[in-house]
Amino acid sequence: MDKVYKSRRKKRGMNIAYNLLVYFVWFLSTYYTIVVMLSLFLKRKEIFEQHPPLKQHPLVSIIVPAFNEEASIAGTIQSLRELNYPNYEVIILNDGSKDKTSQIVKSKLKGLSNFRFIDNKKNKGKAACLNQGIAVAKGEFFGCMDADSIVEPDIIKKTIPYFRNSKVGAVTVSVETYKPKGILQRVIDLEYVLGLSLFLKIFSFHNAVFVTPGPFTMFRSSVANEIGGFDKESITEDFEIAFRIHKAGYKIRNCIEAKVHTIIPPTFKGIYVQRKRWYTGSLQTIFQHKNMLFRKKYGVFAFLIPFNYSLIVFGLVLFLYASYLGFSKLFENLLHFRYTDYNLFQRLFDWHFDILNYGQVNMLSMTVFLGGILLMIFGLKAAKKSFAKKRFGMLGYPFLFILYQVFCLGSIIAFLRGRKVKWR
């Protein structure tokens, strides 16, 4: 009897803990959704900002580190050649590639006086390569660009006006996927349109942009020099530098109307490696700059980061626990059928919907799901994107969300065990 009593007490305790977690995660995610929606509503006319045209054209350097990019580097160079800005230079740095990157770059740069090529034979890492580029760049501003990305011709013209405000240290742009194929890439395309474009625009209204995406971000050279360039120890150098820009008192803005198209890893394994690096690197960076968190002088940024990651971590715990409960219930239900000769279909047709069978926790979960859909719809509308083109991404998003939770769990374990995650 004592055993039964203990088991019931344990079950009751678990039940209460689970429900408290649901209410907590619901509150965090709903609050987050409402802040984003309200910001979107208040600033709906300023999403696409209009700046007076440039009277002067300061020199802009574009730095492109490349490691084994033989498949994409030619396209990247071509897009840089087509930039419609009169005063720019391009610095391409080979980072010890083992493929034909170096040969391709050399052949493509023939006759281009504003393009330079630094052929490093030894791999030193992306951040170190970028720092090498910054050291030789002559521009008042410089853009850091991935060698698997393609910029639109007006990217410099559109981003430079933001630097009229002397406190702006960096300007991020809209990151879109390059010719997405298949459901996975379409879902990532939607994620980029919202997460790496529109949401960064919204966060810029709160001075809380927390990343300077690798595919393309424009920096003020003096700010980059002041903060010491990129952290070569970091595996998410584009996330880490955002912390130091805020720390130095500068702002990061977003120019949603300027676009870069990036190639996403074609395989599932490639996406897993990329995400694991992102998540583990983010955790390392947050730990590295923990003294910035909750400090009023860093504004919303100092609160957004812990809020975001609390939501991710608690959401992950809830997801895992809810999945465990869901699967064990499903398994239990399937096991019932062994006593009735597995007449699954008969039961399927007997099923009747009764909304009263669903408790408060189910209702809360449903509103989070609905909130996510509303955010997607309003987000796409605000970003002036077609629903029809993003329909596959919207349908597939819940599945990718599940995958991300798995990736996230892997990253947290790797971080806690102090495992070194490689860039590639």
Rounded-to-integer distance, Cα 155 and Cα 76, Å: 13
**Surface-to-core class of residue 212, CB atoms within 10 Å of its CB (0-12 exposed, 13-18 middle, 19+ buried):** buried
The residues near 263 (Cβ < 8 Å, ≥ 6 apart) are: 72, 148, 149, 177, 178
Q: Does 310 bind other proteins (CB under 8 A)?
A: no
Rounded-to-integer distance, Cα 29 and Cα 308, Å: 9
Rounded-to-integer distance, Cα 411 and Cα 391, Å: 29
Q: In this complex, which beta carbon is closest to other proteins, that of residue 341 or of residue 422?
A: 341
DSSP-based three-state secondary structure for 176: strand
Question: Of the ranges 214-222, 234-242, 352-360, 394-402, which one interacts with other proteins (CB under 8 A)?
Answer: 352-360
* Position among 44, 57, 164, 347 found at the interface with other proteins (CB under 8 A): 347
Q: Does 205 bind other proteins (CB under 8 A)?
A: yes
Does the CA dihedral 51-52-57-58 come out positive or negative? negative
Rounded-to-integer distance, Cα 76 and Cα 151, Å: 7
Positions 6 through 25 that interact with other proteins (CB under 8 A): 7-8, 11-12, 15-16, 19, 23
* Min separation Cβ 14 and other proteins, Å: 11
* Position among 53, 357, 416, 418 found at the interface with other proteins (CB under 8 A): 357
In this structure, are residues 95 and 124 in contact, taking their beta carbons and an 8 Å threshold? yes
Q: Does 30 bind other proteins (CB under 8 A)?
A: yes
Q: Does 340 bind other proteins (CB under 8 A)?
A: yes
Q: Does 365 bind other proteins (CB under 8 A)?
A: no
Question: Of the ranges 100-108, 333-341, 400-408, 411-419, which one interacts with other proteins (CB under 8 A)?
Answer: 333-341
The CB-side HSE value for 402 (13 A sphere, CA atoms) comes to 6
* Min separation Cβ 328 and other proteins, Å: 11
The distance in angstroms from the start CA to the end CA of the chain is 57
Query: Alpha helix locations (H) across 51-154?
Result: 73-81, 101-108, 126-136
* Min separation Cβ 24 and other proteins, Å: 11
Q: In this complex, which beta carbon is closest to other proteins, that of residue 31 or of residue 399?
A: 31
In this structure, are residues 151 and 80 in contact, taking their beta carbons and an 8 Å threshold? yes
Q: Determine the size of the site formed for other proteins (CB under 8 A).
A: 47
Rounded-to-integer distance, Cα 265 and Cα 162, Å: 31
Residue 33, both tokens:
């959704």
Q: In this complex, which beta carbon is closest to other proteins, that of residue 88 or of residue 203?
A: 203
* Min separation Cβ 344 and other proteins, Å: 11
* Min separation Cβ 340 and other proteins, Å: 4
Strand 168-177 and strand 251-262: the pairing is parallel
Rounded-to-integer distance, Cα 68 and Cα 268, Å: 19
* Min separation Cβ 36 and other proteins, Å: 9
Rounded-to-integer distance, Cα 345 and Cα 21, Å: 35
Q: Does 31 bind other proteins (CB under 8 A)?
A: yes
Residues 40-79 as x/- pattern, contact with other proteins by CB under 8 A:
--xx--x---------------------------------
3-state helix, strand, coil in the chain (%, to 5): 60, 15, 25
* Min separation Cβ 364 and other proteins, Å: 6
* Position among 2, 4, 267, 345 found at the interface with other proteins (CB under 8 A): 4
Q: In this complex, which beta carbon is closest to other proteins, that of residue 23 or of residue 268?
A: 23
* Min separation Cβ 365 and other proteins, Å: 11
Query: What φ, ψ does residue 395 adopt, rounded to 5°?
Result: -65, -40
Q: In this complex, which beta carbon is closest to other proteins, that of residue 46 or of residue 233?
A: 46
Q: Which run of H or of E encompasses 41?
A: helix 2-42
Q: In this complex, which beta carbon is closest to other proteins, that of residue 39 or of residue 274?
A: 39
Put the strands of the sheet holding 60-66 in their side by side order.
115-120, 88-95, 60-66, 141-145, 216-220, 168-177, 251-262, 149-151
Q: Does 363 bind other proteins (CB under 8 A)?
A: yes
Question: Of the ranges 108-116, 186-194, 356-364, 410-418, which one interacts with other proteins (CB under 8 A)?
Answer: 356-364
Residue 246 bridge partners (DSSP)? none
* Position among 78, 87, 323, 367 found at the interface with other proteins (CB under 8 A): 367
* Min separation Cβ 35 and other proteins, Å: 4
Question: Applying CB under 8 A, which residues contact other proteins?
Answer: 4, 7-8, 11-12, 15-16, 19, 23, 26-27, 30-31, 34-35, 38-39, 42-43, 46, 205-207, 300, 332, 335-337, 339-341, 343, 346-347, 350, 354-364, 367
